[in-house]
Amino acid sequence: MSLQKRAIAEFVGTFWLVFGGCGSAVLAAAFPGVGIGFLGVACAFGLTVLTMAYAIGHISGCHLNPAVSVGLAVGKRFPASELPAYIVAQVIGAVVAASTLYVIASGKAGFDLSGGFASNGYAEHSPGGYSLVACLTAEVVLTFMFLIIILGATDRRAPQGFAPIAIGLGLTLIHLIGIPVTNLSVNPARSTGPALFVGGWAIQQLWLFWVAPLAGAAIAGVAYGALAGEAEKARAAGA
């Protein structure tokens, strides 16, 4: 499969992740009487990854996230030379999704971007008022665990065919933990799309939602490589 086609698949997949996940937060989370709340938003993000993993996993690997691409590259599962194409496609997909969501959300009287538009934030812009250090720690740790799930579930020694389920459920759990802290990113593209529309504070705080996920993913790439490598050696020695 050509890099161009894989990049297009990443664009489509990331669009779905941001439109589905952030859309659920903006349009449905607090809908009067039947709002889906944090639990619904967490499930929505998990479902976007689960559905896209089956839809485009065989085309592009279904990264949908610059941090995932970086973690896989560090873990030697993805060529670093292809990172720019994937990351650009993911960010564009996220921005187009946020644009589409804005057109829909702004069609309702009283819509106001001051509500955050599903942007990620820390300190006074954290949903729960968590500090910069707390939010940085949460994003690094949760991205680390998300990449460990991805690397483990897609390992050739893991049970085949179940990776999308493990990854989708993993992202759901991560959102259940992290939404009150930062509105949860673990994905620089997902953070960038809404932030461009909110502007101001969302742009000023965007650095954390690039630095922390990329750091957590890179650490996971190294850690899983060391762990899985030792397991492979032990298995070979016992053969």
Domain ranges of the chain: 3-238
Q: What is the CATH number of domain 3-238?
A: 1.20.1080.10
Q: For residue 239, is pLDDT > 50?
A: no
Q: For residue 233, is pLDDT > 80?
A: no
Question: Rounded to an integer, what distance in angstroms lies between the CA atom of residue 121 and that of residue 144?
Answer: 19
Which tens digit of pLDDT belongs to each residue from 42-73? 999 999 999 999 999 999 999 999 999 999 99
DSSP 164: H
pLDDT at 33: 83
- 143, 204 contact by CB (below 8 A): no
Q: For residue 32, is pLDDT > 90?
A: no
Instruction: Return mean pLDDT, the chain.
Output: 94
Cβ-based neighbour number of residue 176 at 10 Å: 17
Q: Mean per-residue pLDDT for 66-84?
A: 97
Cβ-based neighbour number of residue 169 at 10 Å: 16
Q: Which amino acid is at 117?
A: F
